[in-house]
């Protein structure tokens, strides 16, 4: 069961076009094209890493990762500026003869005149940004990391419950949407229903969101399509949330064994990230909404260092030890009330 997500197909973008990059991120990174080109459609970015082509400019082009976005900072520009004209042209001709997707100049550095000419000749777009190089690389890496992140589609309902991203999975018709609806009614926020897009961020974070098309529409059996955002308003939705707990709903099967203490947590594995997984048997009359809230709150408690199951088990161990020590004495003899005696207010 923990590997039920392994069969799901992982989708990964092979490339993004430079045109898309500029459209999606241009404003965010204050990019401005200084070449006068319609960005050629064939210009693609295949790699989430960036490259600073210092060595390539200096003439060493073995292992030159030209297929990456090339970032030229103060050092590279300074280097080019101090070369004599001939050497500078040689260097740039060599550099631009590689099929570079695009070049980005940081710090709004002014360029030697030949630069733009040669870039245009090779139809390689050059952008500039006012951001300093390190800051820019940090920002763009994050963006590209997200663009090239592996994604999967999970059939389920994804709700932010008290700030914890709870992903409900289970067979069709078991009531995932109804639970999400009930949670929304109680003030929690729907991220996605039915089609949840889960992306891997970095090594250990999974982010979930809905799809652009479905947004916060939802199907309720017997009722049809409703729009949660319209019905409940802006407070009822959010667009993204980290996936923190998976709740697997299933019809209660008397022949099956369910977790009783909470000490043996099961982890689900989604794209190599382990996520706490709870198998929840359901039957008519069981209030899954309230249980879901408790799952979220208990997760928070554990996150902040208090694990009720562990505390209870520890208390039990202590009590058994005490009983053993006192032999068949008074303490071992009986269950003791939680208070020593009832004080004189018989309420």
Q: Which residues have a catalytic role annotated?
A: 155, 176, 194, 260
Take residue 228 and report the two structure tokens written for it. 């949660």
Region binding other proteins by CB under 8 A among candidate stretches 22-30, 142-150, 273-281, 320-328: 320-328
Q: Is 263 in the site for other proteins (CB under 8 A)?
A: yes
Distance of CA 65 to the CA centre of its chain: 28
d(CA 308, CA 178): 29
Contact 34, 116 (CB under 8 A): yes
Q: Is 335 in the site for other proteins (CB under 8 A)?
A: yes
Residue 332 in contact with other proteins, rule: CB under 8 A: yes
Q: Give the interface segment with other proteins, choosing from 131-139, 168-176, 290-298, 313-321 (CB under 8 A).
A: 313-321
CB closer to other proteins out of 12 and 317 = 317
Written as six digits, the tokens of 340 are 């020593």
**Cα(250)–Cα(294) distance, rounded to whole angstroms?**
18
* Among 7, 86, 324, 337, interactor with other proteins by CB under 8 A: 324
Q: What does the alpha-carbon distance between residue 233 and residue 273 come to, in Å, rounded to a whole number? A: 33
Does position 316 interact with other proteins (CB under 8 A)? The reply is: yes
Q: Which of 164, 168, 190, 155 lies closest to 280, judged by CA?
A: 168
Provide φ and ψ at 227, rounded to 5°: -110, 105
State the minimum distance, in angstroms, from the CB of residue 286 to other proteins. 16
41, 135, 286, 317: which one binds other proteins (CB under 8 A): 317
- Based on CB atoms, which residue is closest to other proteins, 9 or 260? 260
**234-269: burial string, b at 16+ Cβ within 10 Å, e else:** eebbbeebebbbbbbbbeeeeeeeeeeeeeeeeebe
Options 86, 260, 337, 344; binder of other proteins; rule CB under 8 A: 260
User: For other proteins, what does the binding mask look like between residues 218 and 257, x meaning CB under 8 A?
Assistant: ------------------------------------xx-x
337 scored as a contact of other proteins (CB under 8 A) = no
Query: Please, what is the Cα angle at 121 between 116 and 122, to 5 degrees?
Result: 100
If one asks whether residue 1 binds other proteins (CB under 8 A), the answer comes out as no
Q: Which tokens go with 43?
A: 């210009």
* One of 211, 261, 265, 287 touching other proteins (CB under 8 A): 261
Name the DSSP letter for residue 206.
E
| Residue 120 phi, psi (nearest 5) | -65, -35
State the residues that interact with other proteins by CB under 8 A: 254-255, 257, 260-261, 263, 312-313, 316-317, 319-321, 323-324, 332-335
């Amino acid at each position: 069961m923990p590997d039920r997500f392994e069969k799901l197909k992982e989708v990964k973008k092979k490339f993004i076009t430079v045109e898309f990059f500029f459209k999606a991120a241009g404003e965010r990174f204050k990019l401005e094209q200084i070449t006068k080109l319609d960005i050629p459609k064939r210009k693609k970015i295949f790699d989430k890493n960036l490259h600073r082509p210092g060595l390539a400019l200096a003439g060493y082009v073995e292992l030159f990762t030209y297929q990456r976005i090339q970032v030229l900072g103060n050092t590279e520009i300074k280097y080019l500026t101090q070369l004599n004209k001939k050497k500078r042209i040689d260097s740039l001709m060599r550099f631009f003869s590689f099929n570079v997707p695009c070049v980005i100049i940081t710090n709004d550095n002014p360029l030697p005149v030949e630069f733009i000419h040669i870039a245009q000749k090779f139809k390689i777009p050059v952008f500039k940004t006012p951001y300093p190089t390190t800051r820019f690389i940090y920002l763009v890496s994050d963006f590209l990391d997200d663009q090239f992140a592996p994604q999967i589609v999970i059939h389920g309902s994804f709700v932010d419950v008290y700030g914890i991203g709870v992903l409900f999975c289970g067979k069709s018709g078991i009531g995932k949407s109804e639970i999400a609806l009930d949670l929304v009614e109680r003030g929690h926020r729907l991220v996605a229903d039915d089609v949840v897009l889960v992306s891997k961020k970095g090594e250990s974070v999974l982010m979930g969101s809905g799809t652009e098309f479905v947004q916060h529409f939802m199907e309720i059996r017997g009722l049809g399509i409703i729009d949660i955002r319209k019905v409940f308003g802006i407070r009822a939705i959010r667009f993204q949330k980290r996936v923190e707990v998976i709740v697997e709903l299933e019809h209660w099967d008397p022949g099956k064994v369910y977790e009783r203490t909470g000490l043996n947590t099961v982890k689900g594995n989604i794209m190599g990230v382990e996520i706490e997984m709870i198998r929840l048997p359901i039957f008519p009359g069981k209030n899954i909404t309230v249980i879901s809230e408790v799952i979220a709150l208990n997760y928070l408690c554990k996150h902040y260092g208090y694990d009720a199951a562990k505390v209870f088990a520890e208390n039990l161990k202590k009590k058994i030890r005490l009983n053993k020590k006192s032999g068949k004495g008074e303490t071992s003899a009986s269950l003791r009330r939680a208070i020593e005696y009832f004080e004189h207010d018989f309420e």
